[in-house]
Amino acid sequence: MRTRSRQPIRWGLVAMATIWMMVIVPLSAVAAPYAALVMDARSGEVLHASNADTRLHPASLTKMMTLYVVFEAVENGEITLDTPVRISKHAASEPPSKLGLRSGSTIKLRYLIRAAAVKSANDAATALGEAIEGSEAAFARRMNRTAKALGMTRTTFKNAHGLTEEGHLSTARDMTLLGRHLFYDYPEYYNLFSRVTADAGLKTVYHTNRRLLSDYKGADGIKTGYTRAAGFNLTASAERGGERIIATVFGGRSTATRNAKVAELLDLGFRSAPSRVAVNRPTKPVYMGKVGPGPADDGHSVPGGVGKTVRLASAAAVKKSLRPQPRPGEAIVASATPDVGNKQDIEKALLAAAETITEDARPAAQGSIAPSANPKARPQDLVLASVDPTAETTPKAQEPASDPVQKVVTRISTSGGRHWGINVGRYPSQYKAQKVLLKTALNEMETLDGSLRKVVKRSTGFDANFMGLTRETADLACRRLQAKQITCFMIDPGA
């Protein structure tokens, strides 16, 4: 009798366990809907779309926007790569994946960027948001404002890391657009997304997408994401023979199946895209500054590193971009490089543009310059040290600083021969060195006016040099470039 009475209970438990395995487990594995989009990055043409405008959980694809806003802030002088960031209790308490930041500690911004881009560290992403805007809520508002400016019409961000939160949603189309903007708007940072490993200060971190990076020819980014609600997400980019394809997948069932699907979509893109097409670069949004304190903020100042704070400025107070505007003649140079995918065409255009700059900016022959054209330096013409851009340093005798990065100064002495130069790096090809020289010349016209761009072939590469500078000008140019995180050293006349 006892044995018979146990049979129904036993079978009842088995039935309940079976139902649990059949219903609960699959829900956690396949609950996320599938969505995908494939785009030709050069033209912006959509080559394939499936459920691409459905609002879904983006997971850590969110960090693409976090990093985009950080790159914008660095470019416009709100913060530097070497700014020490104080870690809040909130940032340190974020769940994995994480770098392991401790509350109250400080770490350079550059390491937080690497941890967020490569390891997808949630604590690093939150710390980045707080460093830029003072609070994660204010940073999320800036993310949403930036998303709107980029044309991401169906995206709403609630945090900087992408962990599931009500209303934190995006689409495959919007994330593909964001990936394209990262590539074109901040090419100097894009290599972060292809690093298999990176030094994140506290430790070496490993890329969350290193399998696809190593297995798929031409893959060089961008970002993975996973939560139970989102599934396995990925926005990937690859380049082959001058063609670049970006593909996004939402709702993958596993890392392996997601990677296989993305590889399939990238293959589809390369088959469908034309081999030659005019590049239609996306329009970079106008810089609008900080969002400033909102209802959830204290309206005061926030940690901005060791021994200082960063004041929050209202975006409404910024009427126009703080980037310097082109002077007459520069617009012609900027437009001299056609947006085409052919390397030979680009190289010819770069050379033509370089010649244009050289001819327009080259000073008159020394024999035709009267002695009075080189006056001795006056007291206000002395080279100044790097200054705090937030301080009021604009005297009546000089123009307001047009570049918000750590600006070194205004005027220099013109005494001395123009026999000095500067080096801005060594590159694997003459084409790359020439391209960097042109970009640097346009970025730093104030001090490099009249200099000559010269590529010197070495056994290990091609040196990109600016020659024909005075010692004072070379020193000033290097310090200004270094303030913008650009490698530079002086070349003396005997070199």
Q: At residue 421, what is the residue type?
A: G
Q: Does 451 participate in catalysis according to the annotation?
A: no
Q: Does 484 participate in catalysis according to the annotation?
A: no
Catalytic site residue from 63, 158, 261, 290: 63
Catalytic site residue from 97, 98, 119, 120: 120
Q: Does 60 participate in catalysis according to the annotation?
A: yes
Distance between CA 409 and CA 477 in Å, rounded? 10
In whole angstroms, what separates CA 281 from the centre of its chain? 16
| Residue in 61, 60, 435 with CA at minimum distance from that of residue 246 | 61
Distance between CA 230 and CA 364 in Å, rounded? 64
What is the Cβ-side half-sphere exposure of residue 213, based on CA atoms within 13 angstroms? 18
| Cα-based angle 150, 125, 202 (whole degrees, multiple of 5) | 140
The DSSP bridge pattern shows strands 106-108 and 309-311 to be unpaired
Contact 429, 455 (CB under 8 A): no
| Cis peptide leading into residue 87 (ω within 30°) | no
264 phi and psi angles, rounded to 5 deg: -60, -40
The DSSP bridge pattern shows strands 243-252 and 35-40 to be antiparallel
What sign does the dihedral 119-227-68-350 (CA atoms) show?
positive
Which residue carries 């459905």 as its tokens? 54
Positions annotated as catalytic residues are: 60, 63, 120
